[in-house]
Each structure stands twice: as C-alpha cells, then as structure tokens.
Structure 1
C-alpha cells in the first residue's frame, strides 16, 4: 500500500461523528503539518492549516473538507441492555438494519449491531415497509442495563458505522466508510503538499471543518477566522453510474473527473470562479464533470456567506452509496481534483481575485 493509500486508510478508518471529530482531526493534523506554516484549531474544533505563498496581504484561498461522518448518538439504555439512539446526519432507514457499528465509550470502543427481526416472523405486508428509525436499537451483547453501563456506555456516546478501508480488485476503486468527507480532507492535505515547492501568489488554508453533516457549522466558524478571498468546498458528490440511477438523478460517473457543482440547496456557485476553474481545467487538459444537487449542500454554502461574501465553488468526487456504511470512489477523480485546485491556486493573484469578486 503506497503512502497515499495509507493516508486515505487512516483518515477513513478514524471515527468521528459531528461533535466528536477528534480522531480524524488528529490524523489530518499528522499528515498536513509538514506542509503548513501554522496549524491551529478554532473553538468549535475545525482544523486550520495555513501555508504562506508570498506576502502577508496576498489573497487567502480556503480549501475545506469536513472531518465529520454521519453516525448515531446513544440516547438511552433499556432494561434489557439494548441501546436506543438518534441519527446524527442524514440516514435512510433501508440501509441501517443489521449493520455493524462501533460505540465510542469513555472506556474505549465496543462493537455492536443495529438489530433486526428475522423475516420468518414478519407478516407479508411488514416485509415491504421500512422500519422507522425510532423503532431501531443497537445490540452490544449486554445481558441487561447494568451490564451495558458496566461496559462504559452512557447517553451521548458516539456510534459510527463499520467498514474497513478496502482497495478493490480494480485498484482504482476504493471502498470505505466516511468518504463523506475524509476525501475532502485528503484533498486539502495533498493540495498543500503539492504546493510545497511551487511558486504562487496566495496564502492557502487547508481546512478540516466540523459538524458539516448537521448544518455546515464548522465552515461558519473557520471561514470567520480565516476571512478568505476565495473558497473551495471539497466533498463527495453523487455518482450516477449504478443500476436504478438515471441522468435525471445524477449526471456524473466515477473516473471521469471531479464534479463542478453548479447549484445545490446551500448555494449557487459563483459564475466567475466557476468559469475560471473550468477554463483552467480545459487549458491543463484535466477532466471534469458538471452536476447539480438540489437536495444537499456542502461547506461552500457557509463559506460564501462569510463577512460581505466570498466567491466560492464546490468541487466534489462522484461517489457511490454515500450516506451508508460503505461507499466507493475512484482514485483518478481524487488525483484530478487535487491537480485542478493546485493549478487554479497557481493562477490566482490579487488582480484575478479582484476581477472575480466583482464579476
């Protein structure tokens, strides 16, 4: 496994739901510190790594992926030792039952599974319906409430999906939990790394934000701290290349380049910046795809509303099965996203940023 894959494995195997992103933040800090002049954390927990390119008054470019992954939170332990929970981030009931989870207690991590009824005892009509989240529970192998408590479990504990990082038979295809959005954090790390020996007229911030999945919250605080001139939200997008997904649902395919998001529920992309990015991609022959996601948003949605406004764009990676336990993406899309952002940063100077701002 090469160094890049090792980083991706460490990032995705780390456990961190919204409000408890310490593990992935530590991994990101480990990998980005060598390429940054300063690494700090804002008061909500977002990691901010600064790399000075030239003068202190050069444009500030923010490249932000979010550290958190969707998961669950323990709300109660019943008398029989089963855990009740609430979702933290967006889940669809149909992908939850009978899936393995890890409960993060004060005494360490313990395994569990979201319980389900055998089909043998379900009425025919019941088999056709999804089970409501409120009816679900987690089985941690405890005999009763007292034993569950003795394991260290208590309300408020984080619960994360289980899926080890896996390089698939086609080695370009990578499967893991938490691609949403440790791939964005990896892009931020790699952008700073590739700029290490490049001349560019900018100060670049590689950021790992917190609590994106519950309202783009860390992007608000970190962007307020940075006050960027240009913002890029790097995240996953929807891959439209699996059975049952049509072009009406998603336009992009894995392996055909990063997605340039024209519109989502959190923002309309800045046209001047979008044209500048796609023009750079055309010039450098970097593949890309356009897409729109009317039902979701990225950190760009908070970044672009900072202070008196920030030209911002979401650049995403087409990913299969997002917001489930196991997602798949294509390594080439990651590599091309990094190359594109690096080439854009090298071309962004004060005059160009000023032109974009008032375009």
Structure 2
C-alpha cells in the first residue's frame, strides 16, 4: 500500500495538469480491467465489464491537487504567481516549490516576501497575502528566468511522503490521491455482475469539472465519489464542527455544504451503511457544512443519478502535510468493494 500511495502523493498534478496521475492509474490497472480511455477533458475512465443487463456503477476520484501557477516574471527574475484551488495564504510563505516546465523539468524555487524585520508592527500582526509573495528561482534577470520558466507553468509545493507512528503517514495531495488509491484497489478487487466505471476526474478543485462531463458520458445507475474529509481530532477544532476521527474508519457523508452540495440519495446511504454493518467494517457518519465533492456534479447529471460519498478522514487538508491512517484507507476499500458487489 505505502509504495503506491507514496508514488501518487509525490507526483505533481495541479488542476488541469493531471497527466502524471492519469499514467499511474493506467499503469496500475491495465491488467485488471477491460477498457481504458481518456476523454476530451482528460478524465481517465477504466471499465470492468459485467453482464450486459447488469447495473452501471460509477466510482469517481479526482486526480488534481491544489497548487499555483506562474503569473508574471519581473525584471529582476522573480516569479509572481496566482493560486489554483483553495489555498490558505499563511501556509505558502517560505515553502520550497517546484515549477513544472515543459522543457526544463521541475525547477526548484522558494517563496519569499519582505522580511519581518522591515515590517511595521501592524503589518507583522496580519496574515501576509499571496499577492505580496514571490518565488525566487535564483535568476538574476527577467531574460534569464524566461529561459527556465514560462507564464502558465503549474507549481506544486515540494514535500515528500513520510511515515509517522503507527498506521499514520503524511504527504502532500492526499486530497485526493488517497481517493485515487482507493479507486485503483477497488477496481482490482471487486467482482460483480455490474459494470464498474472507475473514473479519475480532472479539475475537481476548481469546479468539479471532470465529474460533470464523465458522468454525462457514462450515465450510471449509481455513483460513489471517493475523497477525503476533515478529521477534527486535533487541537483547535470542535468535535461538532468536524466529527470524523482518524483510525475510526471511513466516513459516509450524508450531506455536504449544508445541502447546497450533495444530499446523499437514500438508496446509496442504505447500501453503504448496511454493507458496513453486515461486513463489520468500522465507519463514521458525517453531516457537513463545509465544502463539497465530485458527487455534487454527478448527481445532477442528465435526469439525476443516485450518488453518495465515501471519504477517508484526513488531518490538515489543503496543506503539504496532510495526515491519514493506512488502516482507514484499507477499511474504505473493503467497504467499497463489498458495497459494489452488493449493489
């Protein structure tokens, strides 16, 4: 498990640039499914065929991660950037980054800003906004920098997968490479009369885009989005605001974004909960007021698709040091495989 999760986490795939993740999924599943294709938007769709009159089940995990993009190069060769997806400005300062270029590979840089020694007292009390930061790649002029990087190049935080104590691991982009791992393993293990469509979706972090187009194409009878959810079992957060906990099993999401996103279809809710009970797999229930997932786009496709969400509890989401439990990931796979086979 750790080797593949590490490969997925360390790979770079900012929204709109998911090619490396797509290739990992393709390589892992080429000997386990009947068809593999990439659609016009960049979603990878792997199909495991069942009976001709069987159900069509869609499993969706978004491949993209939040990141940055080169916006401007100034006359001294410093790189200004914009954000791609939901990034908290305070976690950016002083990070090492990779600028992913077409011709020069991964270019290392560091995010800098005016030093606190030269800030007024009022400035030091505020969170520095990303517009006041820049990336230093070591260039001495605009011309030198433009030979190395280009406007539009995607940028990822430099951070590698590591093991903590027990079953916990940390890394970047667990949102949603964890979901991609669950998708891969489920496609390998599941045996059912239904036809399963495993979809690695693009651009979830910037508008659920890939889920919308792939669901329209597949038009499944049932869909489950695979993602991560906030684990609130650490200082600074109330249990009522984030009840999911690491090492207590996957979270079955009943509602997200206070209902503005997904309200899980009763059929999918019953399938996931009853399967967990029958198989004696630990699980958690969550009603969320926060963000949403690919499921929101999927369930509104065509004339409506019964959809749910299965999420792995994750600490410090949307940072380079996200933390998950390998045990939770394995239990998520077990629950999903059993649910697909019982659907």
**Which bracket does the TM-score occupy, shorter chain normalised?**
over 0.9
| Between 34-43 and 127-136, the greater mean CA deviation after superposition | 127-136
Distance 1:336 1:253 in 2: 14
Aligned to 1:94: 90
Aligned to 2:286: 291
Distance 2:145 2:288 in 1: 42
Answer yes or no: is the 8 Å Cα contact 2:67–2:85 preserved in 1. Answer: yes
Task: Kindly indicate whether residue 167 of structure 2 is the aligned counterpart of residue 175 of structure 1.
Answer: no
Aligned to 1:281: 276
Answer yes or no: is the 8 Å Cα contact 2:60–2:199 preserved in 1. Answer: yes
Structure 1 portions without partners, runs of 5+ = 349-359
Answer yes or no: is the 8 Å Cα contact 2:254–2:263 preserved in 1. Answer: yes
For residues 230-254 of structure 1, give each alpha carbon's deviation from its aligned partner in whole angstroms, at most 9, with x where no partner exists.
1110001000011101113200110
Aligned to 1:80: 76
Answer yes or no: is the 8 Å Cα contact 1:18–1:213 preserved in 2. Answer: yes
Aligned to 2:29: 32
Runs (4+) of structure 1 exceeding 3 A deviation are none
Task: Kindly indicate whether residue 304 of structure 2 is the aligned counterpart of residue 309 of structure 1.
Answer: yes
- Shift in Å at residue 169 of structure 1? 3.2
- Shift in Å at residue 174 of structure 1? 1.1
- Shift in Å at residue 344 of structure 1? 0.8
- Shift in Å at residue 127 of structure 1? 1.6
Aligned length: 339
Alignment of 1:35-54 (within 5 A): 35-53=32-50
Aligned to 1:356: none
Which of 153, 158, 167 is the aligned partner of 1:157?
Answer: 153
For residues 92-135 of structure 1, give each alpha carbon's deviation from its aligned partner in whole angstroms, at most 9, with x where no partner exists.
11111111110011211100111133332222222211112222
- Shift in Å at residue 280 of structure 1? 1.0
Structure 2 portions without partners, runs of 5+ = none
For residues 48-93 of structure 1, give each alpha carbon's deviation from its aligned partner in whole angstroms, at most 9, with x where no partner exists.
000013x123111111110100001111101111111110000111
Aligned to 2:197: 205
Distance 1:242 1:115 in 2: 29
| Between 123-132 and 181-190, the greater mean CA deviation after superposition | 123-132
- Superposed CA RMSD: 1.1
TM-score norm. by structure 2 comes to 0.96
Answer yes or no: is the 8 Å Cα contact 1:287–1:336 preserved in 2. Answer: yes
Alignment of 1:331-342 (within 5 A): 331-342=326-337
